Structure 1
Amino acid sequence: MAESAARFRDVVAVREFRFLWAAQAQSRVGDQIARVAVALLVLDRTGSAGLTALTYALTYLPPLLTAPLLAGLADRYSRRAVMVAVDLLRAALIGAMAIPGTPLAVVAVLLVAATCPEPLFSAARVATVPRTLPGPLFPVGMGVITSTDQIAQIAGFALGGVLVGAYGPHVALAVNAGTFLVSAALLHWGVGPHLPERDGAGPARGSGFALAGIRLVVGDRRLLAVAGLVWLVGCYVVAEALAAPYAAQIGAGGEAAGVLMASVVVGTAIGSLLVAKLDGAWRRRLVVPLAVAAGVPLAATAAAPPLWATIALWTLAGVFHAYIVLAQIRFTQFIPDGMRSRAIGFAAAGLQTAQGLGIAAGGALAEWTSPSTAIGVCAAVGACLAALIGLVSRVHRADPPAPQSQSGQPVEPSEAR
């Protein structure tokens, strides 16, 4: 099948992908519900905005340590078994958080514990997608997944507010625990085991095995450049984190913060579907320009324009933010299957860590200056770094080494691009 012939319905027609897609979508909704519930639970008990923000940051930072240690498990065991095990573990941990009267210190520990295996699940899932969607179907599938993730975020935040308002945070957390159980069932019954190929780097054990994915990415300038472009999301996510204080700064109502956050998500959902249909040459050429462009509308926020103009700017930024789909496709396609989970786990951990650090840095800058200035400065830094990565690495001109196929032979260029 020629790449230009890949259609959305071709992707949805693949049974395994439908189960992966459904499991991820409803689980993502549950995650967002839990974020709302935990934030409101901490704020209600302590009245501290600082502790609330710290608790939110705990959902991003732990993977920095756990990714190198855990992601290799998805290159050692059945990827389906890994995803199911992680889902069941998180269901138990979030379920414990849902018990009324649980001390906040225990809630924080459980939250960290539930966040730690996220890179392992993410690595196993993303490594499975190209196995279920071979050739030209893979880019389209990644676009569908990313777009669905954005829509699920909006639905999750909205449902989280309704559930917490009507039944309290404990019920909302219980719902999130239930989504992990549903996800585990969907993956168990609808997805094959997908045993990883051996990478030829020695026995599947020890620290050398666990760190091989990191060495592969860090040792290849082009792969590291693509990962770096993904990590720049840490500069752009500051806008969403500061949406509420920014709305207050420009004199908009409390509802405006939700609209602003939703505008970025809607833009990214649209952009993800648009870039999914690009052919290999355009995916290669546009990844850096779109990464730069993603910061330009947000940088204009430094002028604190009126609400309607900010919504338009942030929606446009979201469309350009779909560059991350192109970067993820490019990164994943050129990693050998036997090392794919470890490399993806490293990249995913870097992304979550960059988001946590970006939010923290943006918040500190907003305290010192203003929310609009913090958003604008962080976005401008991200755009400049994206341009620098493109100039230094020339990632748009050359491909990383071709991966090995299931049979151990090099993938044909027509399949890899």
Structure 2
Amino acid sequence: MPHALRVRDFRYLWAARAIAGLGTSMLVVAIPAHVYAVTGSVLATGVTLAFESLPALLLGTVSGAVADRWDRRRLMITADLVHAAAISVALLARSPETIWLVYVAVLGQGTAAVFFRPASQAHIPAVVGTGPELTSANAISSVSTGVVGLAGPPLGGLLFAMYGIDAVVGAAAAAGLLSATGIALTSARPHTHLGGRSGLGQGLRLVRRAPATRALLAANGTYLLANAALTALLVPFAVSTFGGSTDVGYLLSALGLGFLVGAPVSRRLVDRFAPRPVIAVAQALVGAAFLLMFNSTSLPFALAAAFLLGLPGVTVMVAVQTFVQRATPGELLGRVTAVFMTVEAAVAMTGAFAGPAMSEAYGLPVALNVACSVTFLSALITLWFVPAGAVRQELSPSPRR
């Protein structure tokens, strides 16, 4: 059994996060499909997607301050309950005149997720410590997140096609309640309240005090920007190169398999080597795998490249997350995690628009190769700006006020 799963509380926390993630990912396809079925409007469907990203952009750093000041276990339980209640509002949207209720539901569900994530990330070191068990926990969590992210959307779409939106929303709400129950079964832990300023911008001020964390934020933001652009171009690439959108499913499955195989390898790499070379080499290998995949004309070759992409891809996720958790004191971790989460949301939205826009202007091959080049740029930023060696407790708590 992996190290982290030997810890009882982590088993409950991991299962709760996986269940909650499955419920949320089932809505990715079903909610926009329901909006389009009710309204017949592409614009209304697009507004739904915009509301999904809005909470992370507006409340990301605030949620981090809350995670540092409140009991994180109770905060996660509250977020799960809010998620279940909020998404249930979508059941009332049955006509174009009431479709605004879907926007309310998505906004509420997204807000709950924004507060859940930094609390969850900051709570993991309190449960498993900062030794090898932490790397194991992050590797396991990354795999389950990838698997859930692949399985949830098609499952939600299938449920919607067979039984309608009621079944999907009911399943998502039930997942939130199950997640809250699982977290409630974990042990209560002492919470250190940190005095001083809080709110918007506090997380950024903390990151500015930490050179290695600040450099890693820039490198990871660049890396995720490229990933978002390439993800947005994946369907056009599959259709234009292989002749069908179903090939996207094959590529995603190969990527998921690479994640599964790469998880135990990533854990060993992160514990054995310094963060800078591990992250930089993994980012460069991701760029190389993207180049191979998007410049292939054979589906088997593209599938092999997608599989190889998953191996360093999971390593980047585990290494960045573990570095932040080890370099940041527990009472500051919520805010610092929220900064990374907010940057991730911002670059994801930017890349999703920039990739297709560049494709329209200069053609799909140019857009794909430019985005791959940005991935290599992230590796150079990591090598150039992240200090050599492992950095632990880079930040120090501010005095109480």
Provide TM-score, normalisation by structure 1.
0.86
- Counterparts in 2 of 1:58 and 1:293: CA distance versus 1, 3 Å: farther
- For the 8 Å contact 2:64–2:335, the answer to whether it is kept is yes
Aligned runs of 1:12-411 on 2, under 5 Å?
12-47=5-40, 52-53=45-46, 55-101=48-94, 103-134=98-129, 135-188=131-184, 190-199=185-194, 202-203=195-196, 207-208=197-198, 211-231=201-221, 232-278=223-269, 280-284=271-275, 285-303=277-295, 305-322=297-314, 323-391=316-384, 393-397=385-389, 399=391, 401-402=393-394
**CA deviation profile, 1:209-263 (whole Å, cap 9, x unmatched):** 6643321112322101222333222311333333322221113323112222333
Q: Secondary structure at the match of 1:237?
A: helix
Distance (Å, rounded) in 2 between the aligned partners of 1:266 and 1:239: 19
**Contact between 2:4 and 2:10, CA under 8 Å: does it hold in 1?**
yes
Displacement, 1:193?
Answer: 3.0
Task: Decide which moves more: 278-287 or 219-228.
Answer: 278-287
Please state whether the residue corresponding to 1:116 is helix, strand or coil: helix
Letter in 2 for 1:320: P
Q: For structure 1, which segment, 370-379 or 90-99, has the greater mean C-alpha deviation from structure 2 after superposition?
A: 370-379
TM-superposed CA distance for 1:61, in Å, is: 4.1
Equivalent residue for 1:5?
none
Preserved contact between residue 93 and residue 101 of structure 2 (Cα < 8 Å) = no
The number of residues matched between the two structures is: 391
Structure 2 residues not aligned, in runs of 5+: none
Compute the RMSD of aligned alpha carbons.
2.4
> What secondary structure does 1:294 align onto?
helix
8 Å contact from structure 1 (residues 144, 272) kept in 2: yes
The letter of the residue matching 1:139 is: T
Matched-pair contact (CA < 8 Å) for 1:290–1:320: yes
Question: CA separation in 2, counterparts of 1:331 and 1:175?
Answer: 33
In structure 1, C-alpha distance between the alignment counterparts of 2:191 and 2:160, rounded to whole Å: 41
Summarize deviations over 1:118-152 as a string: whole Å, max 9, x none.
23211111111111112221111110011111111
Relative distance call for 1:300 and 1:60 in structure 2 (3 A) is farther
Counterparts of 1:279 and 1:39 in 2: how far apart (Å)? Answer: 38
Gaps of 5+ in 1: 1-7, 406-417
Cα deviations by residue, 1:158-192 (Å, 9 ceiling, x for unpaired): 3112211211233212211111111111111x222
Q: Distance in 1 between matches of 2:102 and 2:226?
A: 29
Q: CA deviation at 1:356?
A: 1.9
TM-score w.r.t. structure 2 length? 0.89
| Identity, % of aligned positions | 23
More helix by share: 2
Structure 1 residue 367: Cα displacement: 2.8
Higher mean Cα deviation, 15-24 or 258-267?
A: 258-267
Q: Is the 8 A contact 2:23 2:175 kept in 1?
A: yes
Instruction: Assess, with a 3 A threshold, how the Cα gap between structure 1 residues 377 and 46 changes in structure 2: closer, same or farther.
Output: farther
